[in-house]
A and B are shown apart, each in its own frame.
Chain A
Amino acid sequence: MCISTVSHAMQPAPETIAESEKTLFGKLKLWEIEKISPHLYTYRYTFYRNFFLIGEDGIILTDPLTVEAAKILDTELRKISDKPIKYVAYSHSHWDHISGGQIFKDQGAEFVAHQKCQENWLNNPNPNVVKPDIVFDKTYTISVGTPSLEMHYWGPSHDNCRVGFLIRPDRIMFIADDANPPNGWNMLYGAGLADTYIFNLVPFFLQAEKLAEREGVESVIGSHMSFDKNPMNLVSGTIGSARVIKEQRLFYQSVIEAVEKAMANGIANKNIPDYLIEQKVLADKIIGYDEAKMKVLYKRITNFLITGE
């Protein structure tokens, strides 16, 4: 596996301002902080990424990731700004993204999330995850002067409380765990779509596309490192074209349609995964197409079309 940087026309060029001495593997550093604009930064720790905003009135952090990641971020943040951390915004409720916030809570930060995230926390509390203080239903905006963060809820999707972030004034979006630049057609990491509300995936992304179009959003920040095709390279995926939102919707939509079509053609439900793989449906479209994963994905979608969940 090799690592390369992919540049896209019209996209902000991230500037690395800090990185670990330790490597994760190969030349890839364990973590790095990149500057996107005068007040927007991204922080990658292992394969995960968040972003933060520094304004005249303080700092907005997002997804603290892990206890160790948050500790490193806190140390590095103090080298960049002496402003207070006002808010920590959660993109969704999965612990692999939102653990470790206590260090910021201790500094007085308020934690903001969709109300369902708080319910999830109450159902299954985790001492490493700070319970959200401020919850909302549809949209919520937090501001620290010039930069602000809009949180949009479009119904359940990847977990029941994921929101789309819109960063202002940069007009950049962030949708955790999906829509990772440079491609929205990449093979899924978790093909079983655990904790995913399939019935609302396409409507969720349509809403995200609508917001992007309305607000003139051209870029998205990726919550994960990603991969690119020709050759298959692991890429940073820090920032890329907003077209990945549409591509991600088309990915889900196409998989659902493929299974629907197989059903309509009279293929027995239990045979649908093997049939679609044999027919090489979407094999040329999905980047990093993996038969074993596709089998699980097709099975999951078949179950969804039978049960509605």
Chain B
Amino acid sequence: MEVLLALTPQYINKIKHGLLAIMAFLLMSIYCPSWAEVTIEKLTEDVLVFDQGENRGLLIIGNKGIAVIDPLNQQVVIELNRFIAKNYKQRVTHVVYTHSHWDRITGGEVFKKQGAKFIANKECRLFLSGNQNPNVVEPDVYFDRTYVIELGNQTIELSYFGPSHGECLIAVQIQPARLLFIADLLNTKGPSFPNDPTLPYLRPATLIAVLNAMEKLAETNDINSFIGGQSSANILGSIETISEQREFWQLVQSTAEEAEKNGNVDLNNFIAMGKIDLEPFQKFHNYNQEDLSNILRRYTSFLNMGR
């Protein structure tokens, strides 16, 4: 009798919800890495950086609203939400995606419910439309070249210069702090070898033009420092890193061109490493000869394909 009583539609719904919660928890434990600690640090009174694991995002606090640049993931969003509620009267009005990679942009639903506007470059649409990842809030605004967010005493200008790291990476300019936020293309330590030498997201055809445009943007706006998307001891990197990183990629490309010209490329597009001068590469952070071989292989493919 008790059992029958318990199985009223109301109880069935409770069981369903309970089961769904358990399933969701199990899925989360399967697909989410064990969460690392979230830290939030003030860079200036209005620009805050938050880190979790290897990734870094930004909070820009304006007197008319708050912008989150790359929410990272659900756990970070919960922490940010708690932090903002405790310390500020303003709410999150804008969430900016610097590019389309899910490891930086899941979990924004909390801010969506608060009415925040989600913004990304229009080339991100290919990867973000159609609910490809249910944990990524789809942008409300897909902009083309530039987009300006006014938060009262803070202005954020988003600029797109073409494919570079993925299809839709943008530069985020923060004024009046005179800062740039450039995720995943630069290392604040200085010009470096990339983390993944197979360069899965690199767009060599437009990369140099993008870096040139970023240099120009910094120069025009008298910007001396940038913030990178990877957490590291240095929050700020020198703006010269942009041109030095460009020189790195130009060196990679000219080395690949030279090897092609001299017939030092095998059928699998690998360069005979014994026949190239490694010395110019050794000054770059994270130098590694095996990585260089893979990086050059991507560039010989690029020279053959144009992409």
Binding site for B on A (CB under 8 A): 93-96, 120, 123-124, 126, 129, 156, 159, 189-190, 192-195, 197, 199, 263-264, 266, 269, 296, 299-300, 303-304, 306-309
CA distance A6 to B116 in the complex (A): 61
In the complex, are the beta carbons of A199 and B200 less than 8 A apart?
A: no
Interface 0/1 of B284-307, CB less than 8 Å to A:
000000000010011001101111
CA distance A269 to B268 in the complex (A): 27
Interface residue stretch chosen among B5-13, B97-105, B173-181: B97-105
CA distance A242 to B136 in the complex (A): 37
B residues within 8 A CB of A94?
304-307
Query: Smallest CB–CB gap between B246 and chain A, Å?
Result: 17
In the complex, are the beta carbons of B127 and A159 less than 8 A apart?
A: no
Indicate whether B206 reaches chain A with its CB closer than 8 angstroms: yes
Contact among A263, A300, A303 with B30 in the assembled complex (CB-CB below 8 Å): A263
Contact among B30, B103, B205 with A123 in the assembled complex (CB-CB below 8 Å): B205
In the complex, are the beta carbons of A192 and B306 less than 8 A apart?
A: no
Contact among B31, B100, B206 with A124 in the assembled complex (CB-CB below 8 Å): B206
Indicate whether B198 reaches chain A with its CB closer than 8 angstroms: yes
**Residue total for B at the interface (Cβ-Cβ under 8 A):** 35
A308 with B206: in contact, given A124-B306, A190-B301, A300-B198 (CB under 8 Å)?
no
In the complex, are the beta carbons of A264 and B30 less than 8 A apart?
A: yes
Binding site for A on B (CB under 8 A): 30-31, 33, 100-103, 126-128, 132-133, 136, 162-163, 166-167, 196, 198-201, 205-206, 268-269, 294, 297-298, 301-302, 304-307
30 contacts between A and B (CB under 8 A): A96-B304, A96-B305, A123-B162, A123-B163, A123-B206, A159-B305, A190-B269, A190-B301, A192-B198, A192-B199, A192-B297, A192-B301, A194-B200, A194-B305, A194-B307, A195-B307, A199-B127, A199-B132, A263-B30, A266-B30, A296-B198, A299-B196, A306-B102, A307-B100, A307-B102, A307-B103, A307-B201, A309-B101, A309-B200, A309-B201
In the complex, are the beta carbons of B301 and A194 less than 8 A apart?
A: yes
CA distance A304 to B101 in the complex (A): 9
A192 with B200: in contact, given A95-B304, A263-B31, A306-B102 (CB under 8 Å)?
yes
CA distance A189 to B198 in the complex (A): 14
Query: Smallest CB–CB gap between B199 and chain A, Å?
Result: 7
In the complex, are the beta carbons of A194 and B298 less than 8 A apart?
A: yes
In the complex, are the beta carbons of B307 and A159 less than 8 A apart?
A: yes
Q: Which residue of A lies closest to B307 (CB)?
A: A195
Contact among B33, B126, B297, B305 with A195 in the assembled complex (CB-CB below 8 Å): B305
A308 with B200: in contact, given A94-B306, A199-B132 (CB under 8 Å)?
no
CA distance A174 to B155 in the complex (A): 52
A120 with B198: in contact, given A199-B127, A308-B101 (CB under 8 Å)?
no
